Amino acid sequence: MANTAKFWDRMAKGYSKRPVPNQEVYEQKLKKTREYLNPHSQVFDFGCGTGSTAILHAPLVKHIHAVDVSENMLEIARGKMVAENIKNITFECANIEELDVQDDTYDVALGMSILHLLDDREAVIAKLFDILKPGGVFISSTVCLQGVMRILLPFLAIGKFLGLLPTIKFISRETLENDLITAGFQNEFTWKPDGSDAVFIVSRKPD
């Protein structure tokens, strides 16, 4: 995890300047997410990066607890929060796999472009299920690469060992959907935009 944090610390400045790859798709994901937000919502956003998505949602909810392993990413996020005069986000440098959160705490959990970067995706999904309130939703967007792309695995492993790359897991849409179901979630919305490798899923914890 230390190498992963160092990687994203190095990437933070450049990452913050990159435009959204597909603004129209991003806007559609924001719109769908907002269907599940209200002024009473307690939101958990993990792998929040430089905080752009959290800041856009903040005016619609009570509070957002946003975490990331990169302090440099969070420094940029806090600067954006001040610039936008947002006061209801708590940014914390933390690894979700080690974070101590009480069960049944949050109404909504957000995991955008993060599940494929985790060492233990199944454990994190199970933790998210626990920390959501009954009826709460987990909204995720995950890059699902498989098939011929697996030839890159040895190079990715070497890059990770050298601290040049983060963990990158090759998973299919079906595997991801099954992981969520296995944890106890009910998948109620799934969308894979044309031309995109990312799958957007809304999963609900039963009441």
Any idea what the CATH number is for the domain that residue 29 is in? Answer: 3.40.50.150
151 vs 168, residue with greater confidence: 168
- Domain region containing 54: 2-204
Of the two residues 172 and 165, the one the predictor is more confident about is 172
Residue 54 to residues 66, 97, 109, 111, 145, Cα–Cα distance (Å): 7, 20, 11, 11, 26
On the question of pLDDT at 59 being above 60, the answer is yes
79: which 2 tokens?
């600067």
Q: What's the pLDDT tens digit per position in 184-195? A: 999 999 999 998
Task: Report yes or no: 89 and 58 within 8 Å, Cβ to Cβ.
Answer: yes
Task: Confirm if 110 and 139 have CB atoms less than 8 A apart.
Answer: yes
- Report how far residue 53's alpha carbon sits from residue 198's, in angstroms, rounded to the nearest whole number: 16
> Left (φ > 0), alpha (ψ -120 to 50) or beta: where does 165 sit?
beta
- Structural domain count, the chain: 1
3-state helix, strand, coil in the chain (%, to 5): 45, 25, 35
pLDDT of 166 reads 58
Nearest to 45 by CA among 75, 12, 77: 77
Query: Is the C-alpha dihedral spanning 132, 135, 139, 140 positive or negative?
Result: positive
Q: What is the mean pLDDT of residues 47-57?
A: 96
Mean pLDDT of the chain: 89
Confidence of residue 83 (pLDDT cuts 50, 70, 90): very high
Q: How confident is the model at residue 120 (pLDDT cuts 50, 70, 90)?
A: very high
Say yes or no to pLDDT of 163 above 70: no
Pairing of strands 132-143, 106-112: parallel
Tell me, what's the pLDDT at 21?
80
pLDDT of residue 146: 63
Average the pLDDT over 109-126 and give the result. 95
Residue given tokens 């199944």 in the structure block:
122
> Is the per-residue pLDDT at 136 higher than 70?
yes
> pLDDT value at position 66?
98
Overall pTM surpassing 0.85 (yes/no): yes
